[in-house]
Amino acid sequence: MAPKAPKTAITPTREEDYPEWYQQVVKAADLAENAPVRGCMVIKPWGYSIWEFIQKKLDQRIKDTGHENAYFPLFIPLSFLEKEASHVEGFAKECAVVTHHRLESKDGKLIPTGELEEPLVVRPTSEAIIGTSFSKWIQSHRDLPLLINQWANVVRWEMRTRLFLRTAEFLWQEGHTAHSTAKEAEEETLKMLEVYREVVEETLAMPLILGTKTEREKFPGAVATYTIEGMMQDRKALQMGTSHYLGQNFAKAFNVRFTNIDGDVEYAHMTSWGVTTRLIGGLVMVHSDDDGLRLPPKIAPKQVVIIPFITDPEKSEVVMNATKDVLAKICSLKYNDDSIRSHIDQRDMRGGEKGWYWVKKGVPIRIEIGMRDIESGTVTLMRRDKAPKDKMTVKIEELSTVIPKILEEIQSNYFAQAKAFRKQHLHEDIENFDQMITFFTPNNSDKPEVHGGFVLALWCGSTECEKKLDEHKLSIRCIPLKQRKKEGCCVICDQKASLDAIFAKSY
């Protein structure tokens, strides 16, 4: 017997093999592919378009809060990194280093020659190089606050890579600011965390938990690290972005000083914060289904795709003219303060193939137009948040009202579905360490199909307790900013505790 055709566009399904399902969704949506260089990726046009829309939205919010964009070198002298000991220690194992500046041909091969006097580290993050510039730009309290953002790439030599989630090179923005007081710098750190929350929840439709990292998990060299954490559909956590209060640590390392209003010399109080192309991986894992990618309309490169159905070549001009009229009508509409992004798929392919192509790419709305639709003055409309074969008939004159309304419904539905999933898998009933380990171990669980998720439980604050999680591949994802203000016992050591923490497996 011939094997049964798969019932879904993506195989394996999420339930069958989640990691492979993720890879297949990325492939089917044509988001990215592995590069010839180990651990790197080629971001394809559809994936890069998503990044551009994230950039556009976030860049505007960054500028709205008073920051300016600049650009700093890709290469950082090794001696710069050595100035902040904990910082270089935190990144040392991930650094790519340039040691030569010339290639010469020998026996048919290119050999590196011209050894550099000082090795150059390929940017893993920019605190060192930006701090050096800040030391020249800042002299007086009148130069503060200094609010700078950079859009760039960074290199961290990861051993285990996965497209978008963890690659040796990735794209990001990194903000760096300097302030005259600790209070102002701490306020900046939280302000940018809120900017991230706003963009990720309201544009990317991914619900977040905001919190602080533990001392063990914070950014190397920072006083405090704040994080936005999301739950993926395999119930693991993904760190979506971080905002760091650096205190005066980097200012002292790079001599960022200013003369205050009383004429005394002080070190500046600094911050840094960033999000990366990892957000695209989060989009895939939070919203997609077994038929492919599902994109929230606010971030979709194409929000509406129109597919003309031409069964009679003699009627092709009639169908195409009607299709172009519908396109013009939709393009004149506004959604989320922008013209609706629409496209006609005119490729020489069967209509059904085109439909599945756009399903897998996550387009929110598909519209089909054939002679029968033209004769009735209607179009056939399909929503990505509904079943693939779920169709509705809409009168052409009603599109002006229907399209923006449906886009907003899809945006809201995706956020609501993701939030409901997180609520279902966020557990507050785990009372001790044995229960927690059982909960996170599928073979030991009495309900293996629903094992894992987020555990919200009390923690005593001890690093020794935290280390016990390592052998079980668990971690404290954050200490939520919103605390329940209850007292009880630490879920790990059973000692008195009052601090809420989120425990989970993570990417």
pLDDT digits (tens, 9 = 90+) for 360-396: 999 999 999 999 999 999 999 999 999 988 999 999 9
pLDDT at 219 over 60: yes
Instruction: Give domain limits for the chain.
Output: 18-287, 304-406, 426-504
d(Cα 106, Cα 108) in Å, to the nearest integer? 5
- Can you name the CATH fold of 304-406? Rossmann fold (3.40.50)
Tell me which residue of 472, 488, 482 sits closest to 502, measured CA to CA. Answer: 482
The pLDDT assigned to 445 comes to 46
397 burial level (CB within 10 Å; 0-12, 13-18, 19+) = exposed
d(Cα 346, Cα 306) in Å, to the nearest integer? 9
Structure tokens, 439: 């909960």
- For 482-494, what is the mean pLDDT? 95
- Can you name the CATH fold of 18-287? BirA Bifunctional Protein; domain 2 (3.30.930)
432-475 pLDDT, tens per residue?
A: 999 999 999 876 445 545 578 999 999 999 999 999 999 999 99
User: Are 228 and 197 in contact, with CB atoms under 8 Å apart?
Assistant: yes
- For 275-286, what is the mean pLDDT? 98
298-354 pLDDT, tens per residue?
A: 999 999 999 999 988 899 999 999 999 999 999 999 999 999 999 999 999 998 999
User: Are 188 and 271 in contact, with CB atoms under 8 Å apart?
Assistant: yes
- For 101-121, what is the mean pLDDT? 95
For tokens 């199909």, what's the residue?
Answer: 449
Selected from 3.30.390.30, 3.40.30.10, 3.90.226.10, 3.30.110.30, the CATH number assigned to the domain covering 426-504 reads 3.30.110.30
Give DSSP secondary structure letters for 167-207. -SEEEEEEEEEEESSHHHHHHHHHHHHHHHHHHHHHTS---
User: Are 417 and 286 in contact, with CB atoms under 8 Å apart?
Assistant: no
The pLDDT assigned to 450 comes to 54
Diameter of the chain measured on Cα atoms: 88
d(Cα 147, Cα 178) in Å, to the nearest integer? 7
**What does the DSSP 8-state code read for residue 292?**
B
Single pTM value for the model: 0.95
Q: State residue 282 phi and psi, 5-degree precision.
A: -60, -45
The pLDDT assigned to 7 comes to 85
